[in-house]
Amino acid sequence: MIRPVTLCTGQWADLPLETLAPKAKSFGFDGLELACWGDHFEVAKADAAYCKARRELLARHDLKVFAISNHLVGQAVCDRIDERHKSILPDYVWGDGDPEGVRRRAAKEMIATARAAKKLGVGVVNGFTGSSIWHLLYSFPPTPPSMIDAGFADFGKRWKPILDEFQKLGVKFALEVHPTEIAFDIVSAERAIEAVGGHPAFCFNYDPSHLGYQGVDYVEFIYRFGARIAHVHVKDAGWSKVPRLSGVFGGHLAFGDPRRFWEFKSPGRGNIDFDAIIRALNDVGYTGPLSVEWEDIKMEREFGAVEACRLVKQLDFPSSAVAFDAAFEKK
DSSP string, 181-224: SS--SHHHHHHHHHHTTT-TTEEEEE-THHHHTTT--HHHHHHH
User: What was the pLDDT predicted at 323?
Assistant: 73
User: What was the pLDDT predicted at 328?
Assistant: 66
Average pLDDT over residues 122-144: 97
| pLDDT digit string, tens, across residues 46-87 | 999 999 999 999 999 999 999 999 999 999 999 999 999 999
Average pLDDT over residues 257-266: 98
pTM > 0.95: yes or no: yes
User: What was the pLDDT predicted at 311?
Assistant: 98
Helix (H) or strand (E) holding 151: helix 145-169
User: What was the pLDDT predicted at 324?
Assistant: 67
User: What was the pLDDT predicted at 2?
Assistant: 86
Residue 1 pLDDT more than 60? no
Q: Which residues touch 320 (CB under 8 Å, ≥6 apart)?
A: none
| pLDDT digit string, tens, across residues 213-246 | 999 999 999 999 999 999 999 999 999 999 999 9
DSSP 291: E
CA distance 152 to 8: 29
- Contact (CB, 8 A) for 193 and 228: yes
User: What was the pLDDT predicted at 326?
Assistant: 64
Beta strands in 59-209 (DSSP E): 64-69, 124-127, 172-175, 202-206
Average pLDDT over residues 36-45: 98
Confidence of residue 325 (pLDDT cuts 50, 70, 90): low
CA distance 248 to 183: 17
State residue 23 phi and psi, 5-degree precision: -60, -50
CA distance 233 to 7: 9
Residue 207 pLDDT more than 70? yes
| pLDDT digit string, tens, across residues 267-323 | 999 999 999 999 999 999 999 999 999 999 999 999 999 999 999 999 999 988 877
Percent of the chain surpassing pLDDT 70: 98
Burial of 321 (0-12, 13-18, 19+ CB in 10 A): exposed
CA dist list (Å): 203 to 124, 128, 170: 9, 11, 13
Confidence of residue 93 (pLDDT cuts 50, 70, 90): very high
CA dihedral 213, 281, 181, 68 (to 10 degrees): 120
Residue 118 pLDDT more than 90? yes
Beta bridge partners of 205: 231
Domains of the chain (ranges; CATH) run: 5-235+273-322 (3.20.20.150)
CA distance 35 to 13: 8
Confidence of residue 146 (pLDDT cuts 50, 70, 90): very high
User: What was the pLDDT predicted at 320?
Assistant: 85
Average pLDDT over residues 91-107: 98
